[in-house]
Amino acid sequence: MTTLEVERPVVLRQRRAGADGRLLLLHGLANSATVWQGFTEHDTGFATWAADLPWRGEGVAGWSQRGDLAGWVAEAIASVPGDGPLTVVAHSFSANLLLALLDREPALVGDLASVVLVSPFYRSAPERFEWTDISRYLNDFHTIMEDGIRAQGGQRLSPAVRRELALRVRDLVGPYGWTRFFQTYLDTPWLRLDRLDLPVLVLSGENDFAALPGEARALAAALPDARVRVLPDCGHFLMAERPERFAAEITRFVHPLSVGETTR
């Protein structure tokens, strides 16, 4: 990434050509577009773009202290070239920001063909949050980064080195970044999900200790037109851990007629 691109909040790159439609990939907190590399090696038939967002690994200075985070998701969506059907695939923190954007700007729902929410965070009611949640997500926040390092080829590193790298990433996110993440999570009970009337696929990893599979199921149940898939032997970064299976789920979802299914 060039110096100019590091300074730009949203950087969009095409990963694959395709004629069947358009895919936009949005990475989660403290990650980057490279998290999709294993997935984009598989052909879905769709032209595919991946965005580097302000909360990427190296980050954009001050992203967490100012700015409309959902607005940057909107910018990424608006930046995808072409006019074919667009499916947005968003992971983790970005999945929640995408939901917040669609809740805030329901007209945007009509511009999208479908949405894939990967490892989203969700609670149906404020009473479902407890004090222990703050302790777990704050004190163990680095373990999510550690899982990402492992999933993206970090198995070759010793556990001690993975832990050290994860702590560095945590420190890059900082208290403000963590607060923006957790506030987005706390806001999920007030999402007006009944207005998101478009096909949605919710994907979760069976072993995800951050965004629990039960939350993925609850989110899918609350959406008007959604289905959920919990992939076995996967954690929070299922697109990196099981890219072939992940690609198959995406392809099946975006090509429902080719496999004889509806989006339900």
In the chain, the DSSP E strands lie at 11-16, 22-26, 47-52, 86-91, 114-118, 200-205, 226-231
Q: Whole-angstrom Cα distance, residue 129 to residue 258? A: 41
Residue 205 pairs in a beta bridge with 231
pLDDT for res 216: 98
pLDDT for res 67: 81
Task: List per-residue pLDDT tens for the chain, 264 residues long.
Answer: 544 455 689 999 999 999 889 999 999 999 999 999 999 999 999 999 999 999 998 778 889 997 899 999 999 999 999 988 999 999 999 999 999 999 999 999 999 999 999 999 999 999 999 999 999 999 999 999 998 998 887 678 888 999 999 999 999 999 999 999 999 999 999 999 999 999 999 999 999 999 999 999 999 999 999 999 999 999 999 999 999 999 999 999 998 633 334 433
Residue tagged 């949640």 (tokens): 133
Class for the domain spanning 3-124+190-259:
alpha beta
The structural domains of the chain, with segments of one domain joined by +, span 3-124+190-259
Q: The pTM is what?
A: 0.93
Quickly list DSSP for 112-148: -SEEEEES----SSGGG--HHHHHHHHHTHHHHHHHH
pLDDT for res 58: 76
Edge-to-edge strand list for the sheet holding 114-118? 11-16, 47-52, 22-26, 86-91, 114-118, 200-205, 226-231
Cα pseudo-dihedral 146, 119, 40, 259, rounded to 10: 150
Residue 45's CB: how many other CB atoms inside 10 A? Answer: 16
The token pair at 188 is 């999920």
Among candidate residues 244, 238, 263, 241, the one with its CA nearest the CA of residue 252: 263
Among candidate residues 52, 67, 71, 65, the one with its CA nearest the CA of residue 177: 65
